[in-house]
Amino acid sequence: MKNRSQGGLVYSTESGRMCPNCGQPVAACACKASGAPLGDGKVKVSRQTKGRGGKCVTLVKGLALDAAALAALGKQLRSACGSGGTVKDGVIEIQGDHCERLMMELTRLGHPPKLAG
């Protein structure tokens, strides 16, 4: 195990990946939860199939919300589309091609989107 000043523990078989800032497991990272919003406020809706085995996923990027609000909005958008999805690194992923439906829903919720790609 390295000295903490030289980078610290990167991976542990007990808890998986470790945060380089706080030294906690990534799932229980304290510094990530208290961070600023990841988005820039310019909401972009796009469709992607790359790296997903030909399956289509609709992405919503650029929302200037904290992690809890982003997760709540993701749940609301998934239920509006009647589809599954997730929130990863400040990006909401909805399974399927729902660009137009998501744009209408985001506009209704006060987040004016642009179609990207």
Give the CATH number, domain containing residue 80: 3.30.780.10
* Domain co-membership, 53 together with 99: yes
Please check whether residue 74 lies inside any domain of the structure.
Answer: yes
Its domain, for residue 110, covers 43-115
Encode pLDDT of 59-108 as tens digits: 999 998 888 899 999 999 999 999 999 999 889 999 999 999 999 999 99
d(C-alpha 33, C-alpha 21), whole Å: 12
Q: Is the Cβ–Cβ distance between 47 and 117 less than 8 Å?
A: yes
- Rounded to two decimals, the pTM is 0.68
* Domain co-membership, 48 together with 68: yes
Q: Is the Cβ–Cβ distance between 94 and 105 less than 8 Å?
A: no
* Domain co-membership, 49 together with 18: no
Please check whether residue 70 lies inside any domain of the structure.
Answer: yes
3-state SS class at 102: helix
- Measuring CA to CA, how many Å separate 104 from each of 40, 62, 77, 86, 95? 20, 17, 11, 19, 17
